[in-house]
Structure 1
């Protein structure tokens, strides 16, 4: 992989890496501007130029995105496997729409091989992708 790529048209090795089961990190800005980094599951939808993270709506990561205002927060998701790494960047917003949450859960189950436990307060962080990088 080369470093920079189009998040809407990844090459096959990059897309394959994002389909493998890997723990990822999500970096969101706290209200004071400092970075908040947490482990998450991420799904990548290049056709929609979108990455998704399911979360409880009371979580710090959701609160950080909401605190950024209606335009969302600039965030990054990353995964690493030895020398291979991939990062997706973009503007995150939060949705509690049941259909969007269900789609995020479906994609999570597909990538990670398990359906997350039911959670009536689940939301989805949707990241409108502006940049993709990686090497491996």
Structure 2
């Protein structure tokens, strides 16, 4: 397992210190991810999602319905979350503090990134889980 949390660059560019080069293409391919967060009563909540990544902002986005469990939890207070993706031979987990955004600009940005990654528009959801990535774990 490779755990990368330092700030030494792996290549040029603003996102290079967080996502190793070999995983940047991995995160561009369409696949289902898992979003995990802790509920107010301490239970873990894990749900399948389609996540997108904004390299320039060091952020990940998940378009959600504002009435979903994850949205309601993040409405109460921002929380640490994890988004994980894997295939048969590698995996990546992005961790950080997340908040629920109802801002039209954030929703537009998330929809643009979704269309780019999944090659179709996201027609549902009225809010965005916005994750500020501060830790990346990877493995093969």
TM-score by length of 2: 0.86
User: Runs of 4 or more off by more than 3 Å in structure 1?
Assistant: none
Map of 1:134 onto structure 2: 138
User: Any stretches of 5+ residues in structure 1 without a counterpart?
Assistant: none
Provide the aligned length of Structure 1 versus Structure 2.
Answer: 130
Give 1:94 shift.
0.8
Q: 1:118 to 1:23 in 2, by over 3 A?
A: closer
Q: Any conservation in 2 of the 1:49–1:129 contact (CA below 8 Å)?
A: yes
* Equivalent position SS for 2:61: strand
Map of 2:113 onto structure 1: 107
Give 1:5 shift.
2.2
Q: Any conservation in 1 of the 2:115–2:121 contact (CA below 8 Å)?
A: yes
For residues 68-96 of structure 1, the C-alpha deviation after alignment (integer angstroms, 9 at most, x for no partner) is: x2xx1000000110121000000000111
TM-score by length of 1: 0.89
Cα root mean square deviation, aligned: 1.6
User: Any stretches of 5+ residues in structure 2 without a counterpart?
Assistant: 8-14
Instruction: Give the Cα–Cα distance (whole angstroms) in 1 for the partners of residues 60 and 4 of structure 2.
Output: 15
